[in-house]
Amino acid sequence: MSVRVRFAPSPTGYLHIGGLRTALYNFLFARHHGGRFVLRIEDTDRTRYVPGSVEDILASLRWAGLEPDESPVHGGQYGPYVQSERTEIYRHHAAMLVERGMAYYAFDTPDELERMRQRQQAAGIAPRYDRSAMRNQFTLGEDETARLLAAGQPATIRLKVPLHGDVKFHDAIRGAIVVPYKDIDDQVLLKSDGFPTYHLANVVDDHLMAITHVIRGEEWLPSTPKHVLLYEAFGWTPPQFAHLPLLLNPDRSKLSKRHGDVAVRDYIAKGYFPEALVNFIALLGWNPSGDRELYTLDELIEAFSLEDVNKAGAVFDLAKLDWMNAQYLHRRVQTDLGSLIQQLRPLLSERGWNASDDYIGRVIVLVHERIHRLPEVVEFADYMFVPPRYDEEFFRTVWDDQSETLLRNLSSVIETTDPFTAEELHRRLNQFAAEKSIPFRRIGNLLRLAVTGKRVGAGMMDTIALLGKDETLRRIASLLSSVATLQGSPASDSDVEAQPS
RNA sequence: GGUCCCAUCGACUAAUGGUUAGGUCACCACCCUUUCAAGGUGGCGGUACGGGUUCGAAUCCCGUUGGGACUACCA
């Protein structure tokens, strides 16, 4: 039987980073085995539906390179792939279970159920549906049940869990799992609004869509016994289960918004590369060797195996993601500078900065080893596009009595440098430093102040060469005419604009 | 509270009974150097604890402790 797996998110908001990893493992497993990767939308809770979610899920998967083979938009022979369009199927199957005596009608109101739980809590017992004391098919009898149904009384259908015995199943990651029936609740399968719960819809769809492997988050492990029971009640063979370890916050709780961005959309917006994010999350909970970090999607497919998936949760460490993204940035600069230029230009335009593709490309090359994400260019190298703002603290540490004279001399050296290349600049300035017995460090810092305004930046000679002779001389002159202002506001935190020359 | 799952450096992980417990990120130091990075070299740092089984345990078993998930007519 050929492999068929599914990713089945609820459209309750943006695709979550944990959801992306679940989708990724499903995708890798499918591709590794030459199987099919199905996207199914589980929208059975109408109250939690968020418009736009499906579009975001699809767009995020596509961005990551995880295109489904079957989905609401890709179609397929097992559709529809949206659960709200399948309600008749679930109603039919729930009724089938009632007929077989594997499920039953219940008429309890939310208030009655709440009181039941309070009683149980007070008595110190686990809150569970009390089949023998509530209003249902068993306590009311067949005639009364039929009468209430005919009268249109709101009713749910609950799973009739056996009183004695155990459910056993095998998890590809966790091995054999055994749970006594007595610990399993009589789960609602069909809600009084006629919609199924997750448990019913999920099992019915996985069977009808010929899913062979259910690869999902560990949060589903506790309800898997119910699902197995459902397969048995229908007389179906359950799929293989594989429950993935959770993605964790730094405090080891389930990954959530409280500690930072969790939507894939946020990472796209911050300029992370899809191959970096995919590479990173692939290695959160799975590892083929332990001595290698960088994998292409094809290499991940080739190496992927459920046997190598870990059991313990994995903390999402942003610092390592940044490192990995930087690795991919270095690579892209070498192999595909054009795409980086295209990606960066809109961010520059937003600020009203315009430059040629060639110039943008050179700036990226100049600073790429100092940043992790491409959009950081905008903050890091703003001075490559607009006049510098002087960092006053840097000014105070660099500036002294002789700086003005020195700067004027440097201006002459730069003016007469030809060709205007980083190498020639370095040669001339070095020579100048030697002649005047000035540490090269002082020259570098002074020029850095004039040209960039700040302490940190790319190589000074390369920066000046790219900026050009005219602009460099202009900036030196600007600093010279700003000195009075800078010295006049010693306690101020704000940066000082370069003076127009 | 109940049920289930989990447990190797701060983080991600390798080692499927025999290694001085390996790699990556982070951190520290040094080299390189005009700043900051990148790169290179080195370092710090771990098998939660206690019992077994075995010639030999990170690895198998039991217990303890700790963490997590679940416990809805949400998924």
Q: Any idea what the CATH number is for the domain that residue A428 is in?
A: 1.10.10.350
Q: Which nucleotides of B are covered by protein (CB under 7 A)?
A: 1-8, 10-15, 22-26, 34-39, 67-75
Q: What is the pLDDT, as a whole number, of residue A158?
A: 97
Domain count, chain A: 3
Tell me, yes or no, whether A81 lies in a domain. Answer: no
Whether A220 CB is under 7 Å from strand B? yes
Whether A470 CB is under 7 Å from strand B? no
Q: What is the pLDDT, as a whole number, of residue A122?
A: 85
CA-to-C1' span, A51 to B30 (A): 57
Q: What is the pLDDT, as a whole number, of residue A501?
A: 42
What gap in Å lies between CA A280 and CA A440, rounded to an integer? 42
Tell me, yes or no, whether A19 lies in a domain. Answer: yes
CA-to-C1' span, A127 to B65 (A): 28
Q: Please choose, from the candidates A311, A310, A322, the residue with its C-alpha nearest in 3D space to the C-alpha of residue A279.
A: A322
Tallying the residues shown for chain A, one arrives at: 501
Q: What is chain A's alpha carbon radius of gyration, rounded to the nearest angstrom?
A: 32
Q: What is the pLDDT, as a whole number, of residue A110?
A: 92
Tell me, yes or no, whether A396 lies in a domain. Answer: yes
The closest nt to A185, taking CA to C1', is B71
Q: Any idea what the CATH number is for the domain that residue A251 is in?
A: 3.40.50.620
Tell me, yes or no, whether A115 lies in a domain. Answer: yes
Which residues in range 22-51 of chain A are in contact with strand B, contact meaning CB within 7 A of any of its atoms? 42, 44-45, 48
**Are both A123 and A222 inside the same structural domain?**
yes
Which residues in range 55-84 of chain A are in contact with strand B, contact meaning CB within 7 A of any of its atoms? none
- Collect all residues with Cβ–Cβ distance below 8 Å to A252 and sequence separation of at least 6: A313, A315
Q: Which domain holds residue A186?
A: 86-244
DSSP string, A175-205: EEEEEEGGGS---EEE-TTSPBPHHHHHHHH
**Are both A240 and A94 inside the same structural domain?**
yes
**Are both A143 and A22 inside the same structural domain?**
no
**Are both A220 and A91 inside the same structural domain?**
yes
What gap in Å lies between CA A47 and CA A21, rounded to an integer? 26
Let me know if A241 is exposed, middle or buried by CB neighbors in 10 A (0-12, 13-18, 19+): buried
For residue A169, the 8-state DSSP code is E
**Are both A216 and A157 inside the same structural domain?**
yes
* Residue lying closest to nucleotide B14, CA to C1': A290
Whether A114 CB is under 7 Å from strand B? no
- Collect all residues with Cβ–Cβ distance below 8 Å to A162 and sequence separation of at least 6: A181
Show which of A335, A366, A397 is a domain's final residue.
Answer: A335
Question: Measuring CA to CA, how many Å separate A49 from each of A43, A72, A256, A262?
Answer: 7, 16, 19, 19
Residue type, A302: E
What gap in Å lies between CA A93 and CA A125, rounded to an integer? 32
Tell me, yes or no, whether A356 lies in a domain. Answer: no
What gap in Å lies between CA A46 and CA A83, rounded to an integer? 11
pLDDT digits (tens, 9 = 90+) for A315-335: 999 999 999 999 999 999 999
Tell me, yes or no, whether A179 lies in a domain. Answer: yes
Which residues in range 116-175 of chain A are in contact with strand B, contact meaning CB within 7 A of any of its atoms? 117, 124, 126-129, 154, 156, 174-175
CA-to-C1' span, A183 to B2 (A): 9
pLDDT < 70 stretches in chain A = 489-501
What gap in Å lies between CA A90 and CA A203, rounded to an integer? 10
**Are both A466 and A400 inside the same structural domain?**
yes
Cβ distance A321 to A275 under 8 Å?
no
The closest nt to A192, taking CA to C1', is B73
What gap in Å lies between CA A45 and CA A126, rounded to an integer? 26
Which H or E run contains A246? none
Whether A200 CB is under 7 Å from strand B? no
The closest nt to A324, taking CA to C1', is B25
DSSP string, A348-396: HHHTT----HHHHHHHHHHHGGG-SSTTHHHHHTGGGTS--EE-HHHHH
Catalytic, out of A257, A270, A454, A469: A257
Show which of A292, A318, A335 is a domain's final residue.
Answer: A335
Tell me, yes or no, whether A14 lies in a domain. Answer: yes
DSSP string, A14-67: SPBHHHHHHHHHHHHHHHHTT-EEEE-B----GGG--TTHHHHHHHHHHHHT--
The closest nt to A442, taking CA to C1', is B34
CA-to-C1' span, A323 to B1 (A): 44
**Are both A92 and A207 inside the same structural domain?**
yes
Output b/e per residue, A421-448; b: 16+ Cβ within 10 A: eeeebbebbeebbeeeebeeebbbbbbb
What gap in Å lies between CA A424 and CA A435, rounded to an integer? 16
What gap in Å lies between CA A45 and CA A84, rounded to an integer? 9
Q: Examine the predicted complex and report whether its ipTM is higher than 0.90.
A: yes
- Collect all residues with Cβ–Cβ distance below 8 Å to A48 and sequence separation of at least 6: A10, A12
**Are both A220 and A93 inside the same structural domain?**
yes
Q: What is the pLDDT, as a whole number, of residue A371?
A: 97
Show which of A225, A244, A263 is a domain's final residue.
Answer: A244
Q: What is the pLDDT, as a whole number, of residue A500?
A: 47
- Residues linked to residue A75 through DSSP beta bridges, in sequence order: A71
Q: What is the pLDDT, as a whole number, of residue A496?
A: 60
CA-to-C1' span, A430 to B74 (A): 69
**Are both A23 and A113 inside the same structural domain?**
no
Q: Any idea what the CATH number is for the domain that residue A102 is in?
A: 3.90.800.10
Q: Please choose, from the candidates A266, A294, A257, A302, the residue with its C-alpha nearest in 3D space to the C-alpha of residue A278.
A: A294
Tell me, yes or no, whether A375 lies in a domain. Answer: no
* Known active-site residue A257: yes
Residue type, A192: S
What gap in Å lies between CA A463 and CA A425, rounded to an integer? 11
Residue type, A282: A
**Are both A320 and A432 inside the same structural domain?**
no
**Are both A132 and A228 inside the same structural domain?**
yes
Q: Please choose, from the candidates A388, A379, A320, A314, the residue with its C-alpha nearest in 3D space to the C-alpha of residue A351.
A: A379
- Tokens coding A112: 């009655």
Whether A458 CB is under 7 Å from strand B? yes
**Are both A262 and A292 inside the same structural domain?**
yes
Helices (H), A65-187: 87-99, 110-122, 137-140, 142-150
Whether A177 CB is under 7 Å from strand B? yes
